[in-house]
Amino acid sequence: MTEKTFRLPDVGEGLTEADIVQWKVSPGDTVAVNDVIVEIETAKSLVELPSPYAGTVSSLMVAEGETVDVGTPIISVTVDDGAGAKVPAAADGPAAAAPEEVPAAPDSTPSETAGEAPAASLTGTGPKPDAVRRRPRRPVSPGAAATPEPAAAPAPAAPAPAPAAPAAPAPASSGTAAAPASSGTAAVQDRVNRLIQRVLAKPPVRKAAKDLGINLADVTATGASGEVTKQDLISYQAQREAERESAGEFWSPGAADSRIERIPVRGVRRATAKAMVESAFSAPHVSIFVDVDASRTMEFVKRLKAAKDFEGIRVSPLLILAKAVIWAAARNPSVNATWAGDEILVKHFMNLGIAAATPRGLMVPNIKDAQELSLKELAIALNTLAATAREGRTPPADMRGGTLTVTNIGSLGIDTGTPIINPGEVAIVAFGTIKQKPWVVDGEVVPRWITTLGGSFDHRVVDGDLSARFMADVASILEEPALLLD
């Protein structure tokens, strides 16, 4: 048997760490190569890791919820490498060296492994010897006696007592048995000492103490069985707060208030926070807004839903906006660019990012080469992207290489906003909710479907004139989708 350790790999994105979300196996489980063993969360997505080994899970080295660096051991697997079957057959007599050549588990028997008769086995098939009283192994010549006791009969004459002999009490004069016995006694005593030192407390009290940062050994126990009670913890915390206040020490209520929930910042949330701060304080944002009469867009969406070619495909006004952004960017290429310090990289392709709110936080997967897609293909791509993001299964590749982003805040009933540009891009469009509002048409006030578009731009690349022309082009498509046919 060989113990194999699996280390957290780099999933191919150059990431340096990941969170252990959920183990799919437990110690003792049998796994095959490529069986999913754990689900991890990187800064970009959820990833399922397969097992590189086939064997039995020995231990899980990292708990769920922990953040670990790439290269950290996370699981060990016991692999059967066939070593237990390598037992040489006896040539001229009992194989006295067999126990030294079989690194198998204590419950395996050479007779079963090599197909030998029980009489040829010196390990025995009877009860396992006690670990504390077992004598250390030492090599013996083939002609030596096989039994541990010097006075025992030769192995060929008395094979039966051999299995039970190791379990017999050793003579008092034997120094080899004294050392293991004393070490075993020391281990037991050490365990007893640890049990004595352990503070008694119920699990809820232990959890509360951990949340408050209190060492239970410092708390005076008043429980009937000598355990620390919840009231003991409250009294200790009150005393600690009073001491801090009297000493003028700064204290945050959040550190002790059990009503405050602490959510670790990791994975997608941490990556989003870092990216947004970097973008907000490195790119000079400028935002503009435009109200749009989207009544014809609503009519067009209604016709698409009824069209046979779009049967089974979810269609929404976001589809028309996405197509409008692609169309307008082709007319104003500099909004589809990257600021590179000493140069501007204008991209003549569109990887359209769609900001998606998921249970794991905000994600911005993108549709590759969206300018090449027909309206139907774009609708399918949007549906697939949204479904995958909601399930938390967006692959890392879909999070890379975005060139321009759309955020549909209107789905939450919001009129408009000032979105922050996705890092590496220079423009983002916010799509507000579409509502019926009074609108003046040909001098008359009529109810129309109105929405508000908000755009944020990196002023180093997109100045006021360019941003205005781009937003006007997007608005023109929402007002008259037939322009897409030109």
Question: Where do the DSSP E strands lie in 341-417?
Answer: 344-346, 352-358, 361-363, 366-367, 404-407
Strand partners, 57: 77
8 A C-beta contact, residue 350 and residue 370 = yes
DSSP 245-306: HHTT----GGGT-TTSPP----HHHHHHHHHHHHHHHHS-EEEEEEEEE-HHHHHHHHHHHH
Rounded-to-integer distance, Cα 19 and Cα 146, Å: 54
What does the alpha-carbon distance between residue 320 and residue 377 come to, in Å, rounded to a whole number? 13
Handedness of CA 123, 124, 129, 131 (dihedral sign): positive
- Amino acid identity, position 351: N
CB contact at 8 A, 318 and 456: no
331 sits in which H/E element: helix 317-331
365: tokens are: 């997967």
The CA–CA distances, whole Å, from 117 to 104, 109, 130, 300, 309 equal 18, 11, 25, 85, 76
Closest CA to 40 of 64, 71, 13: 64
Nearest to 168 by CA among 183, 145, 147: 147
Instruction: Tell me how far apart the alpha carbons of residues 122 and 214 are, in angstroms, rounded to a whole number.
Output: 56
Catalytically active residues, by annotation = 459
- As a whole number of angstroms, the distance between CA 146 and CA 289 comes to 93
What amino acid occupies position 196? Answer: I
